[in-house]
Every structure is written in C-alpha cells, then in structure tokens.
Amino acid sequence: MFANLSDRLTSTFKGLRGKGRLTEADIDGTIREIRRALLDADVAVPVVRTFTGNIRERALGAEVSGALNPGEQVVKIVNEELISILGGESRPLRHAKTGPTVIMLAGLQGAGKTTLAGKLAHHLKGQGQTPLLVAADLQRPNAVNQLQVVGERAGVPVFAPEPGVTREGERQRGNPVKVAKKAMKEAEQRQHSVVIVDTAGRLGVDAELMKQAADIRKAVEPDEVLFVIDSMIGQDAVATATAFQEGVDFTGVVLTKLDGDTRGGAALSVREVTGRPILFASTGEKLDDFEVFHPDRMAGRILDMGDILTLIEQAEKAFDQEEAARMADKVTKGEDFTLTDFLSQMQQLKNMGSMKKMLGMLPGMGQMREQIENFDERELVRTEAIIQSMTPAERDNPKILNGSRRSRIASGSGMQVSDVNSLVKRFEDAQKMMRAMAKGGGMPQMPGQGGGPGAWGGMPGGKKSKGKQAPQRKVKGKSGNPAKRAQQEAAARNRAAQQAPAGSAFGLGQQEKDFDPSQLDADLGKYLK
C-alpha cells in the first residue's frame, strides 16, 4: 500500500539529508516534488494545496533554519503534517450506554461492505463483545447468502429473515427497513452487545440509495455510521464521500483494499475533506486482515519509517506466552534447540499473518521492496511439511538422519532430498546460534572473525574444520636442515631484539640473550627422536 507515494517521498528527502543549511530554493524544490507525488497518488487538489502550504510555511520558519540538521527537520515537519491530515490521533468506536451498540455500514456497491461486516464482527468478538450481523442488503444478488458465509467463518450469528435477490433480474423481496427494526428486537432478546447492519449499495450515488440508507438510519438510530470506501477509486473518493455525508451523515470512515495497487489518495483526501475520522482499515482477504487506523503509524509507513508498534501488537496476539516462557527457560538452562521447537516457533510466526506485510512494517524496508515482493510465502509451508514428515525421535535428534531416512522424509513431504538437506543445514546453524546465546557468548563468529571456540573455522574442542585451509606463507631461505634452521631462527630473534626498543609492542621487553651453542644438542634431540 502507498508504495508509489512512499518511494517518491523517500527519494525527495534523500537530497536534503546531510545538508548543513537549506536555502529557499532547496525548500521550494522539495515542496514541488512533494506536490507532484501527492497529485500522482490521486490526492484531492485542495488537500494538496493545504498540505504543501503548511509545510512550506513551517520549513521557511525558525524551526528549520536554526536546526542542527535541517534536512531531518523538514522530514519531521512532513511527518507531522501527514499525521494531521490523516486525523491526528485514532478514535475508538463509540459504544451505547444502554442496550446494544448499533453500527450501520454504508457505501457504494463493490466497496467491500459485506466482507468488512464479518471482519468488524470478528474484531469485536476478539474484544469480548457478542456481535450480531444483520442482512439488510436485499437487492444485490446473493448478498444475504454471502453475509451468512462470512458470519459462519467469523463465528458470529447472522439475522436474515428475508432471502433477498438470489439471481440477476429477480425482483427484490422484503423491506430492508423492516429487517433492521426486527433485528433490534432480536438483539435485545438474545442480549447481543453489538449489532452490525449491512446495507445495500449502488454502482453510483443516486436518490433511491440515499433515501433507503437514511430510512434505515432513522429506524435503528445507530451509534456509529461507517462509510466504507474503496481505497483504489482515487479522486472519486472525495465526491462519493461528500454525497454520503450530505445524504446519510456518517460518523467515521473505513478504508478497504489497502493491500491492492492503491495510490493512497482516498486515505489522504477523505479525512481532510469530510472532517470525519478514519476508524479502521482492511488490508487483505482474511478475517484477520483488519486493523484499527492509527494516523501516526500510517504516516510512518508512507515515509518508510516503519510501523513497529503494529508489528508488536500482532506478535502479542499470535505468540503463545506459555510457549515463549518455555523456550526462554530452555535457552537459559542450555538445553538443545530441537526441530520440534523450530516447528512451533515457525507456526506462531505464520499466525502473525503475511511475512511480506510484516517485513514491510520494518523501517527502511522500502528500499528492499522488490526483494520482499519476490519472497515466496509458501517456503514456510514447505518447511513445515518436511518437519512434520519426521518422527519425534528425528526431530529431537537430527544426527540420526541418514540417507534412507532423508529419502523417506522427502517422499512424505513431496519435496526433494536436497530440500531436506538444506533444512537440516539451516537448522544446525540455528542450533549453534542458540548454544552460543545460552553460554552468554552472543552470536557465533562469522568467517574471517578469528578461530575462537565459536568461529566457523575452528570448532569447540580444538577440532578443525574440514574445509580448505589457507596456505601458509613460506619463509624465504629457510633451511630444511634442523640444526641450520635453529641457527637461522636464533639469528632472526637477535636482530629483532636489537632493532626494537625496550618495552616495544612488536619486540621484547629486554635484550635477547646471545645464542648458546650448548643448547643446540638439546634442540636437535627433539627433532631426532
């Protein structure tokens, strides 16, 4: 999401970083590039003018001219203004003081209202609420059936007394206003805490659509009216939002399809034009691809500053606290990290959602967007299949994996033996790292960092690697005769001692004693034994 806008803004700021002083021409050039980037992202022209005007006014003021790093100060100003037009701070849903909280969804057909109704219900259910979905869209073919399917996936009941239109050309049956009124009685009788009403949409704004939405609003008196808008419609978002604000008067906005090829114009325009806050964002097809909209976090994503807080929140939801405590205790005690542990950690990582999305939330990852996009999400599935094809004994002790066992595992997981070998090699590297961390030695040394106990070139216990060793440098003129070689070495030590001052780091602290020929017999004895 916002990929093109993020790239353009990041590229613009590169020219400012490191400059000790910014001229008015530098600032005007930066504002010009920001304006172009926003217009290319389909941001409404009035919003672009306001946004760039505020940035220019602040950039030419004292907060930039007196800054130690004016380039970074301009980025800070852009970030703050971006947060401002996105709403400043997130607003939670308003809940009813008595009775069920009623949330009405409105928007054009194809914006994703029905799917979003299920996601919102799933989200509220996770917070301890007891939502009820109401099928008040009786005109779109199979809209009622779709809501029932979504409700079943979310584990939320659906109130649908009317079947609605089931095929193209069929006449609408039932009254959506009456359905909404009956739903309120049903919710009170069954003591549901939240009622989510899915209403009909049109391909375009018309009087009939607005009248039906207004009648439903009057009938149920909702605590929140959420305008659901497709993030990919660009400049049309402003006209559509304005029409719904005048016809229905919504209280909040929900952005859908933020995972698509969206330019971001809708998100940056709707809040500024209507004055209504953006409450939620839908970022995929799964029920969990739904999040509370935080203006500061979204601004961070657009400016490639990352969104670590959202990443942490997702990790807290996905990771099992008991499993995390067990792993920490295991590392502390110095117990071996097994493939069973590896599988458990990987499954919890999968529960967090798409790896591409998680990587995109890290600061500076916009520069690696192409590599992230090329990442194969199915690699985790393949790895999981290989480990699950092993016996418990093989997972706990991969050293017993001989050729026949690896062949069986490859066949059972639908992979190649080379894939099994590659996984085992990666696991052994991870196991070494965990052992080093348990001993307090930090990360294992990488090649070229020396041959200590944790080095790849010298393994613990003095065992050398079987890899090819670097050839030793030959000393010029070194004799093969042991007696003569001993004389040459002694003469070299004498020369070094005479050239180096006392206490030198590269010489001896005191003069070397003269060579004693009587010692030669003892030295020769060592070689001749």
Residue 49: CATH number of its domain: 1.20.120.140
In a domain, 483, yes or no: no
Q: Is 135 helix (H, G, I), strand (E, B) or coil?
A: strand
pLDDT of residue 320: 65
CATH number, domain with residue 231: 3.40.50.300
Residues 199 and 105 sit within 8 Å (Cβ to Cβ): yes
265 marked as part of a ligand binding site: no
Within this chain, do residues 295 and 413 fall inside the same structural domain, yes or no? Answer: no
Task: Give φ, ψ of 164 to 5 degrees.
Answer: 70, -170
* Final residue of a structural domain among 26, 56, 85: 85
* Final residue of a structural domain among 417, 438, 459: 438
Residues 227 and 116 sit within 8 Å (Cβ to Cβ): no
Within this chain, do residues 62 and 126 fall inside the same structural domain, yes or no? Answer: no
Listed residue (241, 150, 240) closest to 196, CA to CA: 150
111 marked as part of a ligand binding site: yes
pLDDT of residue 125: 92
Count the Cβ atoms, other than its own, within 10 Å of residue 231: 28
Q: How many domains does the chain have?
A: 4
Q: Is 360 helix (H, G, I), strand (E, B) or coil?
A: helix
114 marked as part of a ligand binding site: yes
CA atoms of 15 and 59, how far apart (whole Å): 15
Structure tokens at 445: 């040394």
In a domain, 106, yes or no: yes
Within this chain, do residues 301 and 323 fall inside the same structural domain, yes or no? Answer: no
Within this chain, do residues 321 and 430 fall inside the same structural domain, yes or no? Answer: yes
pLDDT of residue 334: 63
In a domain, 136, yes or no: yes
pLDDT of residue 407: 92
Within this chain, do residues 49 and 136 fall inside the same structural domain, yes or no? Answer: no
CA atoms of 121 and 427, how far apart (whole Å): 40
pLDDT of residue 472: 45
Distant-in-sequence, close-in-space partners of 124: CB < 8 Å, separation ≥ 6 = 131, 194
CA atoms of 101 and 34, how far apart (whole Å): 42
Helices 143-154 and 113-126: crossing angle in degrees, nearest 10, is 20
Within this chain, do residues 218 and 167 fall inside the same structural domain, yes or no? Answer: yes
Within this chain, do residues 262 and 357 fall inside the same structural domain, yes or no? Answer: no
- The three state secondary structure string of 469-502 is CCCCCCCCCCCCCHHHHHHHHHHHHHHHHHHCCC
Quote the pTM value: 0.62
Structure tokens at 381: 């599935």
Structure tokens at 99: 């009775």
CATH number, domain with residue 382: 1.10.260.30
Q: List the strands of the sheet with 290-292, edge to edge.
A: 158-159, 131-135, 194-198, 101-106, 224-230, 252-256, 278-282, 290-292
Within this chain, do residues 296 and 376 fall inside the same structural domain, yes or no? Answer: no
Do the bridges between strand 278-282 and strand 101-106 make them parallel or antiparallel, or are there none, so unpaired?
A: unpaired
Alpha-carbon torsion (112, 113, 114, 116), positive or negative: positive
199 marked as part of a ligand binding site: yes
Helices 482-499 and 518-528: crossing angle in degrees, nearest 10, is 130
pLDDT of residue 442: 47
Within this chain, do residues 204 and 70 fall inside the same structural domain, yes or no? Answer: no
454 marked as part of a ligand binding site: no
112 marked as part of a ligand binding site: yes
For 52, the enclosing helix (H) or strand (E) is: helix 45-59
350 marked as part of a ligand binding site: no
Residues 37 and 8 sit within 8 Å (Cβ to Cβ): yes
Within this chain, do residues 265 and 402 fall inside the same structural domain, yes or no? Answer: no
88 marked as part of a ligand binding site: no
In a domain, 407, yes or no: yes
In a domain, 311, yes or no: no
pLDDT of residue 486: 64
Alpha-carbon torsion (18, 24, 29, 34), positive or negative: positive
CA atoms of 114 and 132, how far apart (whole Å): 13
203 marked as part of a ligand binding site: no
Q: Which amino acid is at 324?
A: A
Within this chain, do residues 300 and 334 fall inside the same structural domain, yes or no? Answer: no
Distant-in-sequence, close-in-space partners of 410: CB < 8 Å, separation ≥ 6 = 386, 416, 417, 419, 420
CA atoms of 457 and 463, how far apart (whole Å): 9
* Final residue of a structural domain among 271, 305, 339: 305
7 marked as part of a ligand binding site: no
Distant-in-sequence, close-in-space partners of 81: CB < 8 Å, separation ≥ 6 = 51, 54, 55, 58
- The three state secondary structure string of 389-439 is CCCHHHHHCHHHCCHHHHHHHHHHHCCCHHHHHHHHHHHHHHHHHHHHHHC
In a domain, 446, yes or no: no
In a domain, 475, yes or no: no
Structure tokens at 458: 């010298």
107 marked as part of a ligand binding site: yes
502 marked as part of a ligand binding site: no
Within this chain, do residues 247 and 181 fall inside the same structural domain, yes or no? Answer: yes
Residues 174 and 164 sit within 8 Å (Cβ to Cβ): yes
Q: Structural domain of residue 343, as residue ranges? A: 317-438
In a domain, 433, yes or no: yes
Structure tokens at 250: 């919504």
Listed residue (443, 401, 436, 437) closest to 422, CA to CA: 401
66 marked as part of a ligand binding site: no
Tokens 């869209």 belong to: 137
279 marked as part of a ligand binding site: no
pLDDT along the chain (529 residues), means of 10: 70 72 82 85 83 86 68 82 84 87 88 90 92 89 90 92 78 83 90 91 75 87 90 75 84 82 68 86 84 83 65 64 67 72 76 68 62 72 88 88 91 90 85 70 40 33 40 48 63 55 37 43 41
113 marked as part of a ligand binding site: yes
Residues 362 and 312 sit within 8 Å (Cβ to Cβ): no
